[in-house]
Structure 1
Amino acid sequence: MKAEIKIENCPEPYAIIYTPEINKEVQRILSYMQQNTQTLIGQKEDRQYVLFINEIVFVQVKEEKTYVYTMNQMYRSKQRLYELKQILGHDFVQISKSSIVRMQACESVEVDFGGVLVLHVKNGLKTYVSRHYLKNFKKQIGL
């Protein structure tokens, strides 16, 4: 495999892999890069904060803005939901078109009117699991 590094003024390292197919070597490199992204930047008021991935419990998009929740705080992220889902990895499961949650942060679930599943997150947040994502969610948490 050939590699090229360009030094440029950008907010964080960014990699592009050109390949005719995703083989074991490419998959190994992708996994390594995703696992070693241990932080991301969250904004609150006029400040930017370094957020450790293991502190994040929930990500939600509201009014086209992405919010990242920890146990005690809420931050705004410039990244889109699908980008955060890739960065956060397999510890997170998508529960709706606009939300992903850390599986270990799920406290309880209850059935609401019409069979809608209500998810209680350990930080006190309450959200709904969309019917479209319900089957995968149940599989992920072992229901």
Structure 2
Amino acid sequence: MKIHINQQGDIAETEITINCKQISPEIEKIISLLRVMDLKLTGMKDNQTYILDVGKILYIDTVDKRTFFYTKTEVYETPLKLYELEERLSANDFLRANKSCIIHFKIQSIKADLDGKLLVTMNNGERLYISRQYAGDFKEKLGVK
């Protein structure tokens, strides 16, 4: 892979062009990383790449070493790892819920469970558990005691 940087003082906006024979998983990952900087993420669905606004993502989950974005009605796969997304999205109202899930604070309700876990109902009606390990951080960020 070759990288060329053309720095000019009179350029109004940064532009990135990717020249490739075909889109590979590595190229998908590069595109995803660039989109995070612009608060957009790319996700794959039905062999097509979609550009998603971060604000539409309800939660991110990892299943069988594959990472997925869940919106109100759709599911998209991403080549990014959960820890990469956690680092980039923590300032944008996303917080780790358990070892395989990051939740966006688009929730309807939150309920404490007997064993210290929290049960969260998302805006789309799905219910997710926040483990005891992350419950304190979650409550603190929400301002709940």
Question: TM-score under structure 2 normalisation?
Answer: 0.71
Matched letter for residue 130 of structure 2: V
Counterpart residue type for residue 80 of structure 1: K
Q: Note the alpha carbon deviations across 1:53-94, whole angstroms, 9 max, x for none.
A: 121121111121101011221111110011112332421111
SS of the residue corresponding to residue 114 of structure 1 reads coil
Return the letter of the residue paired with 1:99.
C
- Structural mapping, 1:30-41, within 5 Å: 36-41=37-42
CA gap of 1:13–1:64, structure 2 versus 1, over 3 A, is closer
Describe the shift of the 1:50–1:35 C-alpha distance in structure 2 as closer, same or farther (beyond 3 A): closer
Which of 86, 96, 99 lines up with 2:98 in the alignment?
A: 96
Quote the residue 1:72 is aligned against.
73
The structural deviation recorded for 1:116 is 2.5
Cα deviation code 1:95-119 (max 9, x no counterpart): 111111112x021112334343111
Aligned length: 122
Aligned-partner residue type, residue 135 of structure 1: G
Q: Unaligned stretches of 5+ in structure 2?
A: 7-16, 21-26
Structure 1, unaligned runs of 5 or more: 16-32
Q: How many percent identity over aligned positions? A: 30
TM-align CA RMSD? 2.7
